[in-house]
Amino acid sequence: MTAHTVTPLVVAVSARSLFNLEESHSIFERDGIDAYVRHVRANEDEALPKGAAFPLVKALLDLNDLSPEGRVVEVIAVSSIHPDAGLRIVNSIDAYGLGIRRAAFTSGSPVLPILQAFDVDLLLSKSIVDVQQAVDSGMAAAIMYSPPDESASPLDGQIRIAFDGDAVIFSDESERIYKAEGLDAFLEHEARKAREPMAEGPFAKLLGTIQRIQKSAPAGRKPFRLALVTARGGNARERVLRTLRAWDIEIDEVYFLNGYRKDRILAAFRPHIFFDDQDAHVSPASKVVPSGRVPWRNEAA
């Protein structure tokens, strides 16, 4: 990275996304808090298995080794559990050598105010409530799905991230037209507005932060490789490309699938994570790559 300081990318990751906590979580749901605490204490020196967000978090933290001036990425481990039960999380972070310096254990208190206090850019969590509140507040956030049983390692040492377009990078305006009026109305709308940039979606600001990190890197050594994987096709393509140009956002790979299966393209791209707003895409994708669903913003929020 170059010598000038870059505003760090701040990522909050829930303990259940960073590590596989399903065993202890099921004990909590079945037997209550006392049984849960006993289980956690009995196993607090045993490192937890890696969760769906672990590969991305590890790769992001490794970027800090390339920066001579400050940290490029700050990761915060966030959990609603009691601090006493958080010891196993802290021990697991240390066991894997993760450079996570900050953590928050809230004992069930709302997480959103803590995320805002930390100026979080991205939340990865299994809590539907926390993610929805974050998205409604204007933050990039995704509900993490269980990781694939096996997935190929990402290629070439870059941090590979794949995004859907509508309702993720871009606003959900066009997606709403498609859902309400059908494909023909959607295509006609996009053709008519091909030269009008789309409004920003929940991940647009995050893309801007990544872009600044990319531009600070030495020539030919960009730390991220980004892909747009969208169901759009036909005459709905032009507006996407013109919007990215208007925003001055560089995407390395763009796939207009026109309804083709996203999971097969993602298996070939091999990202650290894939973001989409529809379970119909996220669920099959999560079988081959780490994936998260971005909920639509609640218009009443």
Q: What span, in angstroms and rounded, lies between the C-alpha atoms of 35 and 6? A: 45
Q: In what order do the strands lie in the sheet with 9-14?
A: 102-105, 73-79, 9-14, 122-125, 140-144, 291-293, 273-276, 159-163, 224-230, 253-256
Q: Please report, as a single letter, which amino acid is at residue 15.
A: A
**CB of 257 closer than 8 Å to CB of 231:** yes
Taking the mean position of all CA atoms in its chain, how far away is CA 168? 10
Residues β-bridged to residue 157: none
Here the tokens at position 74 are 């700050």
- Ranges of H-type helices in the chain: 15-18, 22-31, 33-42, 54-62, 87-95, 112-117, 128-136, 173-181, 183-192, 204-216, 237-247, 262-269, 279-285
Given the residues 121, 130, 164, 172, select the one marked as catalytic: 164
Note if 166 is an active site residue: no
Q: E strands of 73-173, at which residues?
A: 73-79, 102-105, 122-125, 140-144, 159-163
**CB of 230 closer than 8 Å to CB of 166:** yes
| The CA-based dihedral angle spanning residues 219, 159, 134, 264, taken in that order and rounded to the nearest 10 degrees | 130
Q: Among candidates 135, 285, 247, 123, which has minimal Cα distance to 202? A: 135
Q: Among candidates 124, 142, 162, 182, which has minimal Cα distance to 252? A: 162
The catalytic residues are: 164
